[in-house]
Amino acid sequence: MKNQILGSQGEQAAADFLQQQGYRICARNFRVPVGEIDIIARQGEVLAFVEVKTRHSNRYGTPAQAVNFRKQKKIIQTAQWFLRQKHLEDKCFCRFDVIEVYALSTGKWQVRHLPGAFEC
């Protein structure tokens, strides 16, 4: 349960960060039978499918390292589902991002955005 709360707070920090950077949040926790995408955001002509990983430290590797090939494949399949559902196929430039969120001991968040972290 503690990890779910941390993850939820990290996703909120990531969404706030994206909005501060000029992104418009289109969807959060978009779920379909093949998977889930944490945040879908648009900035100009770019539609970003964002996986958020929250950690306290790099003790077990960076948060981005947890987005392995299997997870990437599920995100890509889910993004394709979203694009079909919204009739956006071939109508926008899509990108797959990872946002690493670190919960600092001070109670603040450190956010690191990795645009184009992987491709399909």
Q: Where are the domains of the chain?
A: 2-13+23-118
Residue range 65-83: mean pLDDT, rounded: 97
* Assessment of whether the complete model's pTM goes beyond 0.85: yes
- Look-up of token digits 């603040």: 108
Question: How many other CB atoms are there within 10 angstroms of residue 5's CB atom?
Answer: 9
- Highest mean pLDDT among 2-6, 76-80, 86-90 belongs to 76-80
Higher pLDDT, 57 or 72: 72
Q: So what's the pLDDT on residue 1?
A: 56
d(CA 9, CA 46): 25
Say which CATH architecture domain 2-13+23-118 belongs to. 3-Layer(aba) Sandwich (3.40)
Residue 30 to residues 40, 49, 50, 56, 58: CA-CA distances in angstroms?
Answer: 8, 10, 11, 25, 27
DSSP 3-state of 88: coil
Residue 37 to residues 9, 106, 107, 112, 115: CA-CA distances in angstroms?
Answer: 16, 29, 26, 18, 15
Closest CA to 6 of 98, 109, 96: 109
